[in-house]
């Protein structure tokens, strides 16, 4: 198992971690199999989405804000970050990515994103495991 650590710089942001995962797979000499990524936080998530147009990330965050506004008069969670928990649950905590011939199997425009919904945070963690050869 490998642990990746990220520092986030704003309340909501999407960090492309594709190259970090690819570099790890290459360093370890992984050939064919599956990488499972698991996010260790209840106010952040993981997703595979388009990595060509930076506006996709902006639209993604904006639309989540529309569905889950940061301030809601009936939220009871004392920390005041109910929206972050809802966004994280909607996006999900894990991703599975295939590996073939040592390369991540992703579509032309796909990237793996760490999605921060309650930042900035100095130490976010994602665990990764590989199954295969």
Return the pLDDT at 80.
Answer: 72
Q: How high is the pLDDT of residue 76?
A: 75
Whole domain around residue 27: which residue ranges? 2-132
Report the alpha-carbon distance of residue 106 to residue 99 in Å, rounded: 9
CATH code (residue 71):
2.60.120.460
Task: Give the CA angle between residues 60, 45, 90 to the nearest 5°.
Answer: 65
Structure-block tokens of residue 15: 């960090």
Confidence at residue 60, expressed as pLDDT on a 0 to 100 scale: 97
Does the N-terminal peptide bond of residue 120 adopt cis geometry, omega within 30 degrees of 0? Answer: yes
What one-character-per-residue DSSP string does 62-121 give? HHHHHHS-S--TT---TTS-HHHHHHHHHH-SEEEEEEETTEEE--TTEEEEEEESS---
Structure tokens at 53: 């147009």
Give residue 99's pLDDT.
98
133 residues of the chain, pLDDT tens digit each: 999 999 999 999 999 999 999 999 999 999 999 999 999 999 999 999 999 999 999 999 999 999 999 877 776 777 778 999 999 999 999 999 999 999 999 999 999 999 999 999 999 999 999 999 8
The total of structural domains in the chain comes to: 1
**Residue appearing with tokens 């971690």:** 17
């Amino acid at each position: 198992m490998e642990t990746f650590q990220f520092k986030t710089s704003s309340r909501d942001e999407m960090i492309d971690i594709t190259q970090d995962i690819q570099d790890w797979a290459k360093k370890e000499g992984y050939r064919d199999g599956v990488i499972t990524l698991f996010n260790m936080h209840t106010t952040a998530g993981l997703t595979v989405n388009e990595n060509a147009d930076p506006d996709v990330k902006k639209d993604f965050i904006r639309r989540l804000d529309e569905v889950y506004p940061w301030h809601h008069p009936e939220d009871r969670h004392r920390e005041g970050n109910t929206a972050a928990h809802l966004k994280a649950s909607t996006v999900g905590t894990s991703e599975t990515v295939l590996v073939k011939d040592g390369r991540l199997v992703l579509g032309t425009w796909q990237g793996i994103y760490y999605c921060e919904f309650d930042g900035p945070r100095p130490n976010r963690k994602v665990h990764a495991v590989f199954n295969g050869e």
